[in-house]
Amino acid sequence: MADIINLLPDNIANQIAAGEVIQRPASAVKELLENAVDAGATEIQLIVRDAGKELVQVIDNGKGMSETDARMCFERHATSKIKTINDLFEIRTMGFRGEALASIAAVAQVELKTRQPDSPIGTCIEIDNSVVRNQEPCQTAAGTSICMKNLFFNVPARRNFLKSNAAEMRHIVDEFIRVAMAYPQLQFTFTSNNQQVFYLEKGSLKQRIIAILGQHYNAKLVTVKESTDYVNIHGFVGKPETAKKTRGDQFFFVNNRFIKSPYLHHAIMSAFSEMLPGDSFPLYVLYIDLDPAHVDINVHPTKQEIKFDDEKILYAFVQSAVKHALAQFNVTPTLDFDLDPGIQQLDAISKPFTEQQQERSTSSSLYKTFTQAHQAHVIDKSSNSNLKHWKDLYEIGKTDLPIQNTGMSPIPDAPAFVNRPSTASMIDDRWQDTTIDQKVPVQVHQQYILSQIKSGFILIDQHAAHERILYERYLRALQDKPMPTQQSLFPQTLQLLPADAALIAEMLPDLQVLGYDMEPFGNHTFVVRGTPADIQSGNEQASIEGLLEQFKHFSAELKVNKREQLVRSMARNSAIPAGKSLGAREMQNIIDELFACNMPNVSPGGKYTYVSFKLADLVRMFERGN
């Protein structure tokens, strides 16, 4: 029988390997930025066109490469970082396996220009589908410029799996932020389609966080710093009020490498456990420095998942460091300035206040102006005063009011720990008025709606019910009946973070169908000329920010399509919240619209919208004591 096992050709093997490393344009951005950092660059530029599908270019001012190294760097597993097996466990650089450039060259057209600072001339190499098309000397700036053009041009099936430009751009922004956040001492610029997305100057870690996440975090960051023989932890966590319902502002860096670790995330959440509700996520940017021998980063192609030799001790250190930082913030806030030594030399501090000086001061007209008789808050105690003593008012408030004879048995005494309300407040006015229809709904604790039905009564969760109503209304709008738009008298301009701006751009066509009249205005800004008719005018910024937060929450938790995520997000964000007081007509509208829904019994998230109580069950409950 003939042999059937053959070695794969290099170009096919490279494409298979590229499938693990280069999944989308953002993957190439990550690898090229990390190479620039490893090259010792102090200024790094990222340029993309068509969300990276047409061009991804990274330019750095690092140490560059020789002619031989420029050719060798595209070979599989060609690396300057690993020489012996022991080197694999002492990794302190970002790249080390020599797969990135070989993988990029297998699925794109690549042009590399590089020059070492002490060399008068550089090298230009053009590679197409892993084949060197051209290599020649060239004039170029010191450092390296690498262009990746037409990603997946030779693998059309893979190119078809790429998402929309807005979605791919969002992934690129995420990868750029992770590298830029890890190295605040370097300058980064990011340009997309000839428009600047980021310009990040060299600076401190706090300056870099604020430049990326927004100026509003300036006064809301708490410093974390903990040093031990085993590990050093430093960075910032957000104060509890910065927590959001969605993930996204959480960054872990181990030896300056961004990682994802649910285990360490749990350590942070446990440190915040007494300060935040369970469904909120705090902001944190934490750097963990430890001996590379305790870490295995070679467990995943993208190197974002790593293993520690002792996770439990690291968990304890992270939790302790964050708890300590939060305790300092809560208990001992400090001032950032020192007392001027010159103040200590003033006469008011250095010289005694003699009796003669005291008498002169108390006899002055200025002193008498501020004595008790001349102060506005003093109440005249004379008998002619029309004010009664506050104690009299207090005693009147405690006086029991007469109880009406209703023909019912007296109510048993309440336990001592229960605050007994006055009789007038025991019964809602709408229940006392017998002229009103008995079916008028009543709001309970500004959260539930109680309504009488033929067999008993139902208790409706006003937020869950309204969420179901809006969800079905928005679904109909996307299918065949666009929502009406309420035009704003004065258009609002919204400045968003780059990642959020990319997300809104992706959702813009559907948002317009759902009643938002908005369009891009350049530089992560949108002009909002109108909102859905059921959103209060002047609340555009909060509405869209809440929508973004809910959308990111559903993106992380649910595997549903983008339209479904958007509809659920809008319904959740726009629904009447618990704690809002409703009038009788508003409550009746909610009841009528809820039971006109296709699925009135549950919210889009699966929460019950109402529970029913049968009259027979109530009778049994009250007869149990007989």
Residue 236 has pLDDT above 90, yes or no: yes
pLDDT band at 454 (very low <50, low <70, confident <90, very high): confident
Question: Measured between alpha carbons, how far is 35 from 57 in angstroms, rounded to an integer?
Answer: 12
Question: Measured between alpha carbons, how far is 458 from 148 in angstroms, rounded to an integer?
Answer: 63
Contact 551, 569 (CB under 8 A): yes
pLDDT at res. 304: 64
pLDDT at res. 82: 54
Q: What is the mean pLDDT of residues 59-68?
A: 91
DSSP assignment of 53-67, as one string? TSEEEEEE-S----H
From the DSSP assignment, how many helices (H) and strands (E) are in the chain?
Answer: 21, 22
Mean of the per-residue pLDDT values of the chain: 76
Residue 156 has pLDDT above 90, yes or no: no
Question: Measured between alpha carbons, how far is 623 from 626 in angstroms, rounded to an integer?
Answer: 6
Cross-strand partners of 308: 295
Question: Measured between alpha carbons, how far is 188 from 209 in angstroms, rounded to an integer?
Answer: 13
Question: Measured between alpha carbons, how far is 548 from 525 in angstroms, rounded to an integer?
Answer: 15
pLDDT at res. 107: 86
| Residue ranges in 232-377 assigned as alpha helix (H) | 262-271, 311-331, 347-350, 355-362, 365-369
Q: Which two tokens stand for residue 526?
A: 């949108």
Residue of 328 and 430 predicted with greater confidence:
328
Going from N- to C-terminal start, the domains of the chain cover 10-200, 205-330, 460-611
Percent of the chain with pLDDT over 90: 20
Q: Which two tokens stand for residue 71?
A: 């050719």
Enclosing H/E stretch for 168: helix 165-182
Secondary structure class of 600 (helix, strand, coil): coil
Question: Measured between alpha carbons, how far is 32 from 104 in angstroms, rounded to an integer?
Answer: 10
Tell me which residue has tokens 């105690």. Answer: 381
pLDDT at res. 262: 84
Does the domain formed by 10-200 have CATH 3.30.565.10? yes
Contact 233, 318 (CB under 8 A): yes
Q: What is the mean pLDDT of residues 332-338?
A: 40
- Where is average pLDDT lowest: 243-257, 409-423, 482-496, 529-543? 409-423
Residue 209 has pLDDT above 50, yes or no: yes
pLDDT at res. 567: 81
User: What letter represents residue 457's amino acid?
Assistant: F
pLDDT band at 364 (very low <50, low <70, confident <90, very high): low
Residue 142 has pLDDT above 90, yes or no: yes
Determine the straight-line distance between the first and last CA of the chain, rounded to whole angstroms.
92
User: What letter represents residue 343's amino acid?
Assistant: I
DSSP 608: B
pLDDT at res. 347: 55
Residue 410 has pLDDT above 80, yes or no: no
- Where is average pLDDT lowest: 13-22, 291-300, 454-463, 528-537? 13-22
Q: Which segment, 206-210, 213-217, 307-311, 493-497, is predicted with the most confidence on average?
A: 206-210
Question: Measured between alpha carbons, how far is 194 from 326 in angstroms, rounded to an integer?
Answer: 43
pLDDT digits (tens, 9 = 90+) for 271-294: 888 788 777 888 899 999 888 777
pTM across the whole model: 0.64
Residue 576 has pLDDT above 70, yes or no: yes
pLDDT band at 398 (very low <50, low <70, confident <90, very high): very low
Cross-strand partners of 46: 58, 190
Which residues, other chains included, contact 200 with Cβ-Cβ below 8 Å and sequence gap of 6+? 180, 187, 188, 189, 208, 211, 212
Residue 403 phi/psi, 5-degree rounding, is: -90, 130
pLDDT band at 509 (very low <50, low <70, confident <90, very high): confident
Q: What is the mean pLDDT of residues 16-30?
A: 76
Contact 188, 89 (CB under 8 A): no
Does the domain formed by 205-330 have CATH 3.30.230.10? yes
pLDDT band at 516 (very low <50, low <70, confident <90, very high): confident
Secondary structure class of 553 (helix, strand, coil): helix
CATH homologous superfamily of 460-611 equals: MutL, C-terminal domain, regulatory subdomain (3.30.1370.100)
The number of beta carbons lying within 10 Å of the beta carbon of residue 347 is 6
- Where is average pLDDT lowest: 2-6, 90-94, 165-169? 90-94
- Where is average pLDDT lowest: 217-221, 347-351, 388-392? 388-392
